[in-house]
Structure 1
């Protein structure tokens, strides 16, 4: 299995072009290559501010919309118990497919459009930035302090420049 992008559009304010999806797939390949991630699946969903607000409130306890949310499937905590499955061969194939899922990225297209205008760059650049930001979160990166934020920002900008999404 290669690094694969699955996507869906659950908002109706802006059309999502095939060109944008191709660009995001290329960005995923470049960011994955830089991180040594060559296999897995990333699920990307485009939503509006109302939907991302609800998700942010439900899963993070933050009662406002945000630009991007990431839900990693490969995370495990030190205290977390390992799950042991007893399954037949068909079920084993399904479980193997599930273990290849890196996680979900949800982007508010409304928020991305506004931020692109605020920062003076294209919608594609803003969505690309949010996508690679979300991807790095799926891999365990965070930006809780200045050092980790600088590291994450550098990785994001490097991937974006490789696909021509410059400021």
Structure 2
């Protein structure tokens, strides 16, 4: 819905290379310190995009927004974090650096659900930007969902809050469900 002349839309994309949370600076530090390089799980797959690419595509998504779209960026091919770590060690020229698997952190997923099944998305004039097909939610439905979440938060119980989230977001999957598919 619009308030005044404001348009709302959202854009989904993966990891941005060189951003604060990027794994690459971490690997660089670990290599510079003589290792080990830590990977939570050798099966982890992530999508990467550079800061200029991501910012340009987000701006372009905003420019073509009408109202309420969920834009999905084509992030290209996913990268195995283990391959990334091995390549960074090899390219550094530093010998004898080992890679240690530390185990998945709570809530960590083996792969990102980016919705890049292009056959299920609508195209835009930009080949890198897609729109998720979605049925608009009425204001009444939104208010009902918000109330469900408020009630769950008021209990102070994490499991009730997670279950409420699952009930109001039909596409919500727990990390366990996602990781089971790849294991």
TM over 0.5: no
| Rg larger for | 2
Q: Which has the higher helix share?
A: 1
TM-score interval for Structure 1 and Structure 2 normalised by the shorter chain: under 0.3
Could you state the TM-score of these two structures normalised by the residue count of structure 1?
0.22
